[in-house]
Structure 1
Amino acid sequence: MRQPTFKHWINHQWPAALALLLFSVPMLLNSAMAAEDLSSRDRGYLKDIAQASLVQIEASELAVVKSSSQDVRQLAREVIREHMLVSDQLKQLAQAKRAELPDQPSLIQQAKFRLLSAKDGVEFDQGYAKAIAVKNQETVVKLFEKVAARADDADLKSFALKHLSPMEAKLDYGRNLRAALKTDAGE
């Protein structure tokens, strides 16, 4: 039996090869484009939001256990609830956009957490109110404002807008708590 030559293949098989090529190229392009759903800036926003929420949750979990103030523990529980909601929804968004999220706060955030965790009593309560409930929450609010204004992805913008108001409310709560703790301490 004689082997088909290249010329024979070209004359008889090219329509099938062309059809396969025309069918597979758009599929390859679609999967490559889907992996690029988010710009690098938007991926950075996802990372920043995830890390900010992680540090808020970890510090607040510590406050629930370690705080000597019922008011601090109450705020900490609310912060945990709010940031867990943000974190869960952020994971869903990241999964839909094929983006990976960090599983721990940044090194700077971890260092600040360690400083807070070394404190006890009223010093811990004031440290939590200042560092987590106010300063870190201010950073979170500014981040959500920035994402809402500058993100390229419409879903990410919508996410930031949806969660901005609750983040601002927690910041107000934190400021009031910080002022009350200062008053209680006689500052």
Structure 2
Amino acid sequence: MALFTSLAPAADRMVRSDRNFMEQAAQNGHAEVEAAKLAQSKSANQKVKDFAARMEQDHTKTNEELATLASSKNVKLPTEPSAVQKSKAKAMGTLDGERFDRQYADEMGIKAHEDTVKMFRKAADGAKDADVKAFAAKTLPALEEHLKMSRDLRASLGK
């Protein structure tokens, strides 16, 4: 019986929490990239545009690394943000000027990165799969830097 268990596909052996982490990380990454593209096209503020360009670049790279990891584990990842993330982006897209900039900094900068840092920290500490754990640990410092950058950006935008 143990022989059959060891031949199961990697996705079947992977614990649900690790698979959930990878799936949520993929959705969060896609949401970041889409929101960054929106911010680069809508904002007139160079600080917002620069932050968004960095988010697009960094999260695209992380999404690619995650996709490679998932492929090696036979895990199929979402290829777009969640429905909730899409609706938030759509609502944000209706704003203009400073209102858009502040909303982007608040939602996709601070709030999204607080949630993502928490999720990656949990995976870095407790993922069962060694590769998932290593990916989370390796990515965490950049996400923490993004959170700091987003707080600085938001502070520069005023009330």
TM-score range with shorter-chain normalisation? over 0.9
Instruction: Report percent identity of matched pairs.
Output: 35
Normalised TM-score (structure 1) = 0.80
Q: What residue in structure 1 maps to residue 151 of structure 2?
A: 175
Kept in 2: contact 1:37–1:97 (CA 8 A): no
- TM superposition shift of 1:37: 3.6
**Deviation string for 1:114-136 (max 9, x for gaps)?**
11111111111111111111111
2:53 pairs with 1:77 = yes
Partner Cα separation in structure 1 for residue 20 and residue 11 of structure 2: 15
**Deviation string for 1:110-155 (max 9, x for gaps)?**
1111111111111111111111111111111111101111211010
2:39 pairs with 1:98 = no
Q: What residue in structure 2 maps to residue 134 of structure 1?
A: 110
- With over 3 angstroms needed to count, the CA separation of the structure-2 counterparts of 1:162 and 1:121, relative to structure 1, is same
Answer 1 or 2: higher relative contact order, Cα 8 Å, separation at least 6. 2
CA RMSD of aligned residues (A): 1.6
Q: What residue in structure 2 maps to residue 44 of structure 1?
A: 20
Q: What residue in structure 2 maps to residue 118 of structure 1?
A: 94
Q: How many residues align?
A: 159
Partner Cα separation in structure 2 for residue 162 and residue 29 of structure 1: 30
Partner Cα separation in structure 2 for residue 159 and residue 145 of structure 1: 11
Partner Cα separation in structure 2 for residue 156 and residue 34 of structure 1: 12
Q: Which runs of 4+ in 1 moved over 3 A?
A: 25-31
Normalised TM-score (structure 2) = 0.94
Amino acid across the alignment from 2:82 = S
Amino acid across the alignment from 1:130 = D
Partner Cα separation in structure 1 for residue 141 and residue 155 of structure 2: 21
Partner Cα separation in structure 2 for residue 173 and residue 165 of structure 1: 12
Partner Cα separation in structure 2 for residue 76 and residue 63 of structure 1: 6
Partner Cα separation in structure 2 for residue 98 and residue 37 of structure 1: 10
Q: What residue in structure 2 maps to residue 151 of structure 1?
A: 127
Q: What residue in structure 2 maps to residue 86 of structure 1?
A: 62
Kept in 2: contact 1:37–1:98 (CA 8 A): no
Partner Cα separation in structure 2 for residue 180 and residue 29 of structure 1: 55
Kept in 1: contact 2:9–2:74 (CA 8 A): no
- With over 3 angstroms needed to count, the CA separation of the structure-2 counterparts of 1:108 and 1:26, relative to structure 1, is same
- With over 3 angstroms needed to count, the CA separation of the structure-2 counterparts of 1:150 and 1:29, relative to structure 1, is closer
Partner Cα separation in structure 1 for residue 25 and residue 10 of structure 2: 22
Q: 1:58 aligns with which of 17, 28, 34?
A: 34
Kept in 2: contact 1:72–1:177 (CA 8 A): yes
Provide the secondary structure at the position in 2 that maps to 1:32: coil
Partner Cα separation in structure 2 for residue 128 and residue 53 of structure 1: 15
